[in-house]
Amino acid sequence: MAGRRADAWGHWLGVATVVGSFVIGLAIFAQTLGLGPDERLREQSLWSWMESGALGVDFGLRLDPLSITFVLLITGVGALIHLYSVGYMSHDPNRRRFFAQLNLFVAAMLVLVLGNNFVMLYLGWEGVGLASYLLIGFYQDRPAAATAAKKAFIMNRVGDVGLAIAIFLIWLELGSLQYSEVFARIGEVSGGTVLAITLLLLLGACGKSGQFPLQAWLPDAMEGPTPVSALIHAATMVTAGVYLIARASPIYNLSETGRLVVCLIGVLTLMIGAIVGCAYDDIKKVLAYSTVSQIGYMVLAVGLGPAGYALGILHLLTHGFFKAGLFLGAGSVMHAMNDDVDMRRFGGLWRKMPITFVTFGLGYLALIGFPFLSGYFSKDAIIEAAFAQEGWQGWVFGGLATLAAGLTGFYMTRLMLMTFFGKSRWKEIRSTDGREYHPHESPASMTAPMIVLAFGSVFAGFLLYPVLPGWLSPSVGERVAAEGGPLPHAVIPFLVVGVSLLGVLLAYLFVGRSPVPVERPQRVSPVVAAARADLGANAFNEAFLERPGIWLTRLLVFFDNRGIDGLVNGTAAAFGGGSGRLRRTQTGFVRSYALSMLGGGVLIVAAMLAVRFA
Q: What's the pLDDT band for 547 if we cut at 50, 70, 90? A: confident
Cα angle 194, 195, 196 (rounded to 5 degrees) comes to 90
What percent of the chain stands above pLDDT 90?
63
Residue 432 vs residue 73, higher pLDDT:
73
561 pLDDT higher than 90: no
Q: What is the spatial distance between Cα 90 and Cα 52, in angstroms, rounded to a whole number?
A: 49
590 pLDDT higher than 90: no
Phi-psi region of 229 (alpha: psi -120 to 50; beta: other; left: phi over 0): alpha
**For 227-251, what is the mean pLDDT?**
89
Q: What's the pLDDT band for 36 if we cut at 50, 70, 90? A: confident
Q: What is the spatial distance between Cα 153 and Cα 27, in angstroms, rounded to a whole number?
A: 35
pLDDT value of position 520: 87
pLDDT value of position 104: 94
Neighbours of 463 (CB within 10 A): 13
508 pLDDT higher than 80: yes
Q: What's the pLDDT band for 270 if we cut at 50, 70, 90? A: very high
Residue 301 vs residue 233, higher pLDDT:
301
Q: What is the pLDDT of residues 303-317, one digit of tens each?
A: 999 999 999 999 999
* 56 phi, psi to nearest 5 deg: -140, 120
74 pLDDT higher than 90: yes
Q: What's the pLDDT band for 613 if we cut at 50, 70, 90? A: confident
C-alpha dihedral, 59 to 64 to 70 to 75, nearest 10°: 70
DSSP 100-117: HHHHHHHHHHHHHHHBSB
Residue 414 vs residue 5, higher pLDDT:
414
Q: What is the spatial distance between Cα 554 and Cα 8, in angstroms, rounded to a whole number?
A: 50
pLDDT value of position 105: 93
Q: Which residue, among 44, 202, 53, 223, has the nearest Cα to 138 in the 3D structure? A: 223
Q: What's the pLDDT band for 25 if we cut at 50, 70, 90? A: very high
pLDDT value of position 580: 86
Phi-psi region of 31 (alpha: psi -120 to 50; beta: other; left: phi over 0): alpha
Q: Are 212 and 252 in contact (CB under 8 A)?
A: no
pLDDT value of position 37: 79
Q: What's the pLDDT band for 591 if we cut at 50, 70, 90? A: confident
Q: What's the pLDDT band for 565 if we cut at 50, 70, 90? A: confident
**For 160-166, what is the mean pLDDT?**
95
2 pLDDT higher than 80: no
Q: Which residue, among 446, 448, 429, has the nearest Cα to 333 in the 3D structure? A: 446
The radius of gyration of the chain from alpha carbons, rounded to an integer in Å, stands at: 30
pLDDT value of position 595: 87
Q: What's the pLDDT band for 589 if we cut at 50, 70, 90? A: confident
Sign of the Cα torsion 170, 175, 179, 180 reads negative
pLDDT value of position 543: 85
pTM for this structure? 0.89
542 pLDDT higher than 90: no
Q: What is the pLDDT of residues 428-479, one digit of tens each?
A: 888 877 888 899 999 998 999 999 999 999 999 999 999 999 999 999 988 8
* 47 phi, psi to nearest 5 deg: -165, 165
Q: What's the pLDDT band for 329 if we cut at 50, 70, 90? A: very high
Which one-letter DSSP state was computed for residue 214? S
The 10 Å CB-count burial string (b at 16+, else e) for 79-108 is bbbbbbbbbbbeeeeebbebbbbbbbbbbb
